[in-house]
Amino acid sequence: MLSRRVPHDLEPNAWARFLEKCRTADTRLLDLSETNPTRVGLGGAGLAELAALAQGEGARYEPAARGSRAAREAVAGYYAERGAAVSPDHIVLTASTSESYTHLFRLLADPGGVFLAPSPSYPLFEPLAALEGVNLRPYRLAYDGAWHLDRHSLEAAFAADVRGVIVVQPNHPTGSCLEVDERALLETLCERHGAAIIADEVFGDFPRPGRVAPLPSLVGKGRVPTFVLSGLSKVCGMPQMKLGWIVAGGPGAARDEALHGLEWIADLFLSVSTSVQVALPVLLAARGAFQRRMHGRLAANLARLDELVARRPELQVLPAQGGWAAVLRVPRQRSEEEWALGLLARGVVVHPGHFYDIAGEGYLVLSLIPEPDLFAAGLARIEEFAAEASARDRAP
């Protein structure tokens, strides 16, 4: 009865079954996979922000497909404060970054069209693409002491059926960004094949502690149609507000054609609530306090992680430029599944690297935003588990 777009096999894997068993048994878990800022004491919505949702203008319904002018001006102001000139006319509001992706899949491709997606990255891309009847083809991010674009992999992935390339920077979970020459190659290949760029920059305000230069962004003119995505979930720590945006760039004629198409698609849904659009100037203006708290949290937890790997040289944190996650390399005497299940048996939730298509064995992905005491307790159990493995390996 169901379409092929909906997965018919929803059987959870061994890790998910064990996690559900722990939760059902009311086991106290140290969740080092948590990425929801509202569950770790970092949510950006205080009383003033919540009060902004109750403004009288929210009682009127005056739909605008691209979003209200005032809300789009607020988004343009956010970029201006980051040093990027963006016209409100080039912004389309959505209910979330996921909705932004689906609008762009519909805009750029017919059913069966292909988008290139980075590997490793979000596991979310595949079901979103399947739901819209388009296909994904991976291109590789390689690690050789630092993450970088695998140029051969990207070039080999291109073909006549490619409609767009997804870029996530900082990537989740690798925390990597495109270098200048990598962006130039990407634009050259897209230009040659008539493809667009979809740039997910939701973590763009969160460089690694100590980084002086701002994280790179694809906001700007560009040589090909380019769509930059972000939203309140990460910028303001307000995932519950359900507002994202698309900033369209690239050659003028192609950009304007795309904006007309996006407007038509958005007009069919009108999914962004009036109240959150009315409140958006206040919500964005309040982001500074949240971001300062988040930067402090990231620095504190990264410091604890550095202390761990200093004590346990068999563990290594892979370098990153930004984001809310860390990739931890662990000894390969155990598989990632054994590491994740063994830690879960000790009450610690982490993700194995293969959840994000990290190539090879021996990687765990940790969120950097849990409360510091909880994070430290989770790291202590990781250290204990690593020590047990080392002792076993040394045993005659």
Q: How far is CA 95 from CA 148, 172, 230, 239, 287, in A?
A: 32, 21, 11, 10, 18
CB crowding 229-255: b at 16 or more within 10 Å, else e = bbbbbbbbbbbebbbbbbbbbbeeebb
Q: Which domain holds residue 374?
A: 14-43+288-394
> Which one has a higher pLDDT value, 45 or 38?
38
Q: At what angle do helices 287-311 and 274-285 cross, to 10 degrees?
A: 70
* 97 in any annotated domain: yes
pLDDT tens digit string along 129-159?
A: 999 999 999 999 999 999 999 999 999 999 9
Q: How many domains does the chain have?
A: 2
pLDDT band with cut points at 50, 70 and 90 for residue 392: low
Q: Where does 120-216 show beta strands of DSSP type E?
A: 135-143, 147-149, 162-168, 196-200
- Quick one: 213 and 294 in the same domain? no
Give the helix ranges, DSSP H, for the chain. 14-24, 47-52, 69-81, 97-108, 125-131, 151-157, 180-193, 232-235, 252-269, 274-285, 287-311, 336-345, 372-394
Place of tokens 């789009």: 72
pLDDT band with cut points at 50, 70 and 90 for residue 391: low
pLDDT at 66 over 80: yes
- Quick one: 248 and 354 in the same domain? no
pTM of the predicted model, to two decimals?
Answer: 0.95
The DSSP output letter for 322 is B
Average pLDDT over the chain, rounded to an integer: 94
* 1 in any annotated domain: no
- Quick one: 88 and 208 in the same domain? yes
CATH code for the domain of 138: 3.40.640.10
**Is the separation of the CB atoms in 228 and 219 below 8 Å?**
yes
